[in-house]
Structure 1
Amino acid sequence: MPSAPPPDWVLVRRRAVGERIRALRAQARLSQEKLAERAGMDRQAINRIEQGHASPLLDNLIRIADALDTPLRDLVG
């Protein structure tokens, strides 16, 4: 049985996390491809997270934070 979609407030927060990742990536002058390489992920996954289309696993957020050399809290703040 498929699970119910998340409530709107969760989607808003998910998009905000994606926007913070995108901003930090741009500040670091990294392409999605380069960030993905540094985080051990694929570019499509980074794109889905930045667009708010995917709910990233905590492990992936930790990898992204490390690749951006930023504290995890700055991604989810």
Structure 2
Amino acid sequence: MGEELKPADPAEIADALSDALRYDGRRRVHDADELMARIVAERLVEHLRRCGFRLVRCGAGAALPDTSRHRHPNADRQPDDA
């Protein structure tokens, strides 16, 4: 992991959480009001910050961190294997 991780912007985290509360994939969830989703997301971000969580964002194209010591079952498989 050669690229440095940088602290995530709280507004970006709140946006991501708000979208997660309003959408299920690409489908709009109609049981979550947009304003309520924004309020909940902002409160969650603030709570995580107070609890000492540090959310970071990887740069574009950077591999995501992996804490697993297990190899992926398809790690040795080539793309043209069927």
For normalisation by structure 1, the TM-score amounts to 0.31
For normalisation by structure 2, the TM-score amounts to 0.30
Bigger proportion of residues as helix? 1
- The higher relative CO (CA closer than 8 Å, separation ≥ 6) is in 2
| Larger-Rg structure | 2
Bigger proportion of residues as strand? 2
